[in-house]
Amino acid sequence: MTKKHTDPLERVAQEMKKCVKCGACRANCPAFGTFQREPATARGKVALAQHLVKGDITLDDGTYAAMSKCLLCGSCVDKCPNQVPTDEIVIAAREALAQRRGLTTFHKAVGQVIRNRKLMNFGALAAAVLGPIFFRKVPSTSGLRLRFPMPFIGGSRHIPQIAKKPFMKRHPEIIKGEPGKPTIVFFVGCMTNFVYTEIGEATLALFRHLGCTVIIPQGQQCCGLPGMSGGDLDTVRELAEQNLAAIEKHQADYVMTACATCGGALHKLYPLVIGKRNPELKARLQAVADKTVDAAVLLQKLGLHPEETGTGQRMRITYHDPCHHRTAGIAKQPRTLLKETPGLDLVEMEGADRCCGLGGTFNVYHYESSLDINAGKSKAIIDTGADAVVTGCPGCIMQLSDGLKQAGDKTRVLHTVELLARKIRR
């Protein structure tokens, strides 16, 4: 029996009906903001998905181009009067496209690398995946096909340094804390493991400071978000199971991550993509999802008290909300912690909760548009006159750093935990 290619879309067909095409998404969609054409809006993609199900259009280049113009940032869902889950609908459409057309060379490479920790540990290839950024991506005029990915040619993009030794290779799997204190599984994530190892170190230091036992499961893999972005949900499912096995090996009170994107995968995406096909697996993933918590949220919950430790010099900071935090309702907690921290003055930027424009592999296909969205973000940051922009997602950190450097600005980009870790006595 041949599989119907619109199957993934049938999964969300009921949800599509909720869209009344009112147009509210035009006000909030960063992709529409830059493309200014209706197929880039949420209601446009819902309309196309509906026509795909009806069979009026096919999974051709035009559909591919439209569905690629989404950052999966969830802004449209937040502000939609009818809460249409356009993010889920786009994910389903991309899965249908991948099933029908096969994965692009680029996404095949992504899938291969993120499923293979050994390959990833071989820094160069890890880099290739972590930053689609390492590729020069120009959508060719013949229809958005990628030029073959060329590692290490970043174009005008500023490339972060790859760590000499990954974070996870520097630490044992179990770091014992004080008796009676919580046990925490640390889901590290690729960006922290391979690029921004200082985020990992800061996170570890903070939870050890609180006396927690920290477990860094050695079997953990990439969360799979880069795969999802291209419709490679089979890879996501595979990684979900591997990560589940790695996490379940340990008894823990919390599954903590300092990466908003990884948090989004564990908390929302895994139970979603497994669907009803495997209720037992879905239930186990849901149990992990329920225990998953962001580092800053958990630090606040466990009562971290940042102290005056340094030179006494004040620092002006502004906070950027990662999309995967906004959609999970995380906004107040990191701000509260930062406001309580001595020596910091938090000033809000305009549109703090607007997407930075990275959008998984969106920036691979639409680098110019990604830059355009990022430029607005950079301006908002610079306008605050802050010494540093602080956020809770290594992906955003990479994108914000790139944007600020492109704008010729010297504002530093830091993770919340990095600032907090400076304010504890070790």
Partner 1 sequence: MLDARTLQQLTDIVGADNIATGAQDLICYGYDATQMEFLPDAVVHPDSPEQVSRILQLANKENFPVFPRGAGSGFTGGALPKGGGVVLVTTRMNRILRIDTDNLVAEVEPGVVTEAFQMEVEKLGLFYPPDPASLKFSTLGGNVAECAGGPRAVKYGVTKDFVMGLEVVLPTGAIIRTGGETVKGVVGYDLTKLLCGSEGTLGIITKIIFKLLPYPDSKKTMLTVFDSIDGAARAVSTIIKNKIIPTTLEFMDHATLTCVERRFNLGMPESARAVLLIEVDGDRDLIEKQAGQIHKLIEPLGLVQFRVAKDAAESEELWRVRRLVSPSLRDVNPDKFNEDIVVPRSKVPDVIRRIEVIQKRYDIPIVNFGHAGDGNIHVNIMIDKSVPGQLEKAHEAIKEVFQAALDLGGTMSGEHGVGLAKQPYIPLELNADQIAAMKSIKAALDPNNILNPGKMLP
Distance CA 384, CA 194 (A): 31
Choices 31-39, 119-127, 174-182, 274-282 (CB under 8 A): range interacting with partner 1: 31-39
CB of 248 to partner 1, least distance (A): 37
CB of 46 to partner 1, least distance (A): 10
Is residue 138 at the binding interface for partner 1, with CB under 8 A as the rule?
A: no
Choices 25-33, 267-275, 320-328, 340-348 (CB under 8 A): range interacting with partner 1: 25-33
CB closer to partner 1 out of 52 and 358: 52
CB closer to partner 1 out of 42 and 296: 42
Question: What is the residue whose two structure tokens read 């600032």?
Answer: 419
Is residue 100 at the binding interface for partner 1, with CB under 8 A as the rule?
A: no
CB closer to partner 1 out of 52 and 317: 52
Is residue 82 at the binding interface for partner 1, with CB under 8 A as the rule?
A: yes
Is residue 332 at the binding interface for partner 1, with CB under 8 A as the rule?
A: no
Query: Shortest CA distance to 30 belongs to which of 326, 263, 404?
Result: 326
Binding mask 61-80 for partner 1 (x = CB under 8 A): -xx-xx--------------
Is residue 37 at the binding interface for partner 1, with CB under 8 A as the rule?
A: yes
C-alpha neighbours within 13 Å on the C-beta side of residue 119 = 14
Phi-psi region at 159: left, alpha or beta (left = phi > 0; alpha = psi -120 to 50):
beta
Is residue 56 at the binding interface for partner 1, with CB under 8 A as the rule?
A: yes
Question: What is the residue whose two structure tokens read 């529409």?
Answer: 32
Is residue 81 at the binding interface for partner 1, with CB under 8 A as the rule?
A: yes
Is residue 156 at the binding interface for partner 1, with CB under 8 A as the rule?
A: no
CB of 53 to partner 1, least distance (A): 13
DSSP string over 56-93: SS-SSHHHHHHHHS-----HHHHH-TT---HHHHHHHH
Is residue 36 at the binding interface for partner 1, with CB under 8 A as the rule?
A: yes
Binding residue (CB under 8 A) for partner 1 from 4, 7, 10, 18: 18
Burial of residue 426 (CB within 10 Å: 0-12, 13-18, 19+) is exposed
CB closer to partner 1 out of 37 and 339: 37
Contacts 24+ apart (CB under 8 A), 139-144: 139/365, 139/366, 143/61, 143/64, 143/65, 144/61, 144/64, 144/65, 144/68, 144/365
Choices 81-89, 111-119, 182-190, 400-408 (CB under 8 A): range interacting with partner 1: 81-89
* CA distances (Å), origin 319, targets 239, 268, 352: 31, 24, 7
DSSP string over 397-418: HHHHHHHHHHTT---EEEEHHH
Binding residue (CB under 8 A) for partner 1 from 43, 268, 320, 354: 43
Residue type present at position 208: R
CB closer to partner 1 out of 53 and 245: 53
Query: Shortest CA distance to 240 belongs to which of 227, 252, 251, 259?
Result: 227
b/e sequence 361-372, b meaning 16+ C-beta within 10 Å = bbbbbbbebbbe
Binding residue (CB under 8 A) for partner 1 from 27, 150, 153, 347: 27
Is residue 24 at the binding interface for partner 1, with CB under 8 A as the rule?
A: yes
CB of 80 to partner 1, least distance (A): 8
CB closer to partner 1 out of 63 and 197: 63
Binding mask 180-199 for partner 1 (x = CB under 8 A): --------------------
Choices 54-62, 134-142, 236-244, 371-379 (CB under 8 A): range interacting with partner 1: 54-62
Residues 173, 246: contact at Cβ < 8 Å?
A: no
Query: Any residues with CB less than 8 A from the CB of 81 and at least 6 apart, and which?
Result: 20, 22, 24
Binding residue (CB under 8 A) for partner 1 from 23, 329, 342, 385: 23
